[in-house]
Amino acid sequence: MTGRRAERIEVALLLTLTFATGIVDAVGYLELDRVFMGNMTGNTVLLGAALAGSGGLRAAGLALALAAFWAGAAVCGRALRSRPQVWTARTTALFGSIGLGVGVVGVLVARTPPEPSSALALAAAGVLGACMGVQAATVQHLGVVDVPTSAIDEQVTGLAADAGRRRDQPWARRALSIVLLGSGALVGALLLRAHIGLALGVAAGLAVAVAAVGQALLVVRAPR
C-alpha cells in the first residue's frame, strides 16, 4: 500500500472516531448531568460556572470527567512512549479498548438508566472520560494534522484564518471534522430517543470497527 493511500485510510478512520465522539458527547451532556466526555474545554468552562453555583450545574461529574480524561491520556502516553508515530498493534489495542469501555458503559446504563449525579452516572462519566482521554492521546501520537477527533477549535480557526490566504490549507479535513462532530451529536441525540444503550452501542461499534480496519490495513507486518 502506498503512503498516500495509507494516509487517506488513516484520516478516514480518525474522522469516523470524530463522529463517534459526537455521539458520546451528546450522551454525556443530555443524559449524564450535562458533562462532555471528549470536549474538555467545555467541561472546564462549565466547571467554573458550577463552582459559582450557576445554571443548576453540578461540579462532581464535570470534575470527574476532567480527571478521568487526564488519567486516560496519561496511561496512553506511557503505553505509546518510544513507539513510532505510525499505526501499530498497540494503536489497535488502544482504540479497541475504547470500544470495549464505551460498550460496557452502554450495557450498564441500558439495564439501569442513571439518575443525574447518581453513583452510576458518575461512574459512567469517569469511564467515558477516560476512554476519550485514551483516544485523544492516541490520535495525538499518530500526528495526523487537522483531525483531532474531539475539540475542533483549531479547525474552525484554521478555516476562517486561512480563507483566501492559503490555497493549500487542508480545508476538507477541517470541514469534515466540524461536520462529523456535529453530525455525531445529532445522531446521538436521535438515538437517545430510542435508548441510551443504543447510542453508546453505536459509538462502541464504530471504535471497534476503526480498530479492526486499522489493524487489517495499516499495521506493517514484517516479511516472513
Q: What is the DSSP string of 38-86?
A: S-HHHHHHHHHHHHTT-TT--HHHHHHHHHHHHHHHHHHHHHTTT--SS
| Whole-structure pTM value | 0.91
Return phi, psi of residue 212, to 5°: -65, -45
C-alpha cell of 181?
462532530
The string of DSSP letters for 152-195 reads: -HHHHHHHHHHTTT-SS--HHHHHHHHHHHHHHHHHHHHHHHH-
Residues of the chain with pLDDT under 50: 222-224
Question: CA-CA distance, 16 to 91, in Å (whole number)?
Answer: 15
What is the longest distance spanned by two Cα atoms in the chain?
A: 63
Please give the pLDDT value at position 82. Answer: 85
Please check whether residue 108 is in contact with residue 47, taking contact to mean a CB–CB distance below 8 angstroms.
Answer: no
What H or E segment, with its residue span, contains residue 106?
helix 89-111
Q: What is the set of domains in the chain, with CATH numbers?
A: 3-217 (1.20.1250)
Report yes or no: 146 and 14 within 8 Å, Cβ to Cβ: no
- Tell me the C-alpha distance between 43 and 27, whole Å: 14
pLDDT at 168: 66
pLDDT of residue 43: 93
pLDDT at res. 166: 62
What H or E segment, with its residue span, contains residue 139?
A: helix 119-142
